[in-house]
Structure 1
Amino acid sequence: MTPDEIRQKLQQVKKQRLTELDLSNPSWIPEWEKLTQIPTEVFEWEWLETLNLSWNQLTSVPKAISRFTNLSKLDLSWNQLTSGAEFLTHLTNLSGVYLGFNALKSLPEDISSMTHLSELDLTWNELTHLPEAITTLTNLSGLYLGYNKLTSLPEAITSLTNLSELDLYENPLEDPPIEIAEQGIDAIREYFCQKQAGEDRRI
């Protein structure tokens, strides 16, 4: 997206108070045409509900993003994010978060504040563990964690009764074993149920 195209789109959103802002790029756009930071004026538009910044060159997200209290969908996939995504905990109205194809190494421990979250895509990052608080996101129906570095899952993840899609493909999982994890959430629930039963018998 050229600077002129970005400028025109920003002017349109501001003038018409549109609730959706799309500053994403086609995959074939050269890197030098992609955003390396979010335009500062965007943070004045607290009415935004959908923000798409995918396929850019963003390495971090400023704290000012917390102003988007009405934001329900945020797409930051295909960027260069490496931080712990702490900014998410301030966006408590989010229902869909797409952070795939970055380099995130962790999630914030207080992610439990995101009570409206129903879809979370973290495919192709560098996550080594999940915070226990993720098991409190009771509205979560889709969790995509393929191609990370997870070796275990919190057992309480099985208590997420609305979780119907759980992608863990290509993780070095040991607990549960990857061959079970790749069968989906029902197989994972059965694994932990049997594991708990075995521990109870030993007591």
Structure 2
Amino acid sequence: MSEPGYEILSIDDLDRLPTTAGSQILRPLRRRLGFRPFGANVWVGEQPGDHVIEPHREASGTEELYVVLRGTARFSLGDATFDAPAGMLVHAPPDTFREATAAEPETTILAVGAKEGEAFTPSAWEDFYVAYAELRAGDADAGRVAMQAALDREPDAWQGPFNAACFEALAGEPDAALAHLRRAAELDRRETRRYAADDTDLDALRDDPLFAEIVA
């Protein structure tokens, strides 16, 4: 239900986008609301053992709070491992290793985060996630809209065109993929070569002479 000035919605009103081979689901809350004070997204592990929160550290200084909304999540936080049932809140300070898998079907976590003392700016990673999820869901055009948003957000970062190259390679558009890969190499040849060496998303391009030329 929506009215001017506010919006009320259920978790189930959010899009359901597969992100990693269909095992982890992104329900993009921040984008749905146009919400900008801090990052806020909902993640779902469909089956026990599926990732809900992928293993990572927030080395950039971002602090995160995880709220288990449904099911039970098995968290690894620093050196500790514990189960967090629905209603549990888990705080992860910056640079602390964190990971969560589903202990029950449809385990659902709300993740919110920001850097202390800094105005929040949506990151391009969110656009990348949405782009790949749309592609896996069968809507490449919607994925391209999200990918273009990432390119526009950080036009001088090599990661944008590199991810766009991976996206187009997976979408079966080698010419577009190679054009993006060339742009990534122009922005940072060393990092582009390093990541292109073993990124399986680019496997469809490896027999093309232009691929070897770009990453040489």
TM-score bin, normalised by smaller chain: 0.3 to 0.5
Q: Identify the structure with the greater helix proportion.
A: 2
Greater relative contact order, per chain length (Cα 8 Å cut-off, separation 6+): 2
Per the normalisation by structure 1, the TM-score is: 0.32
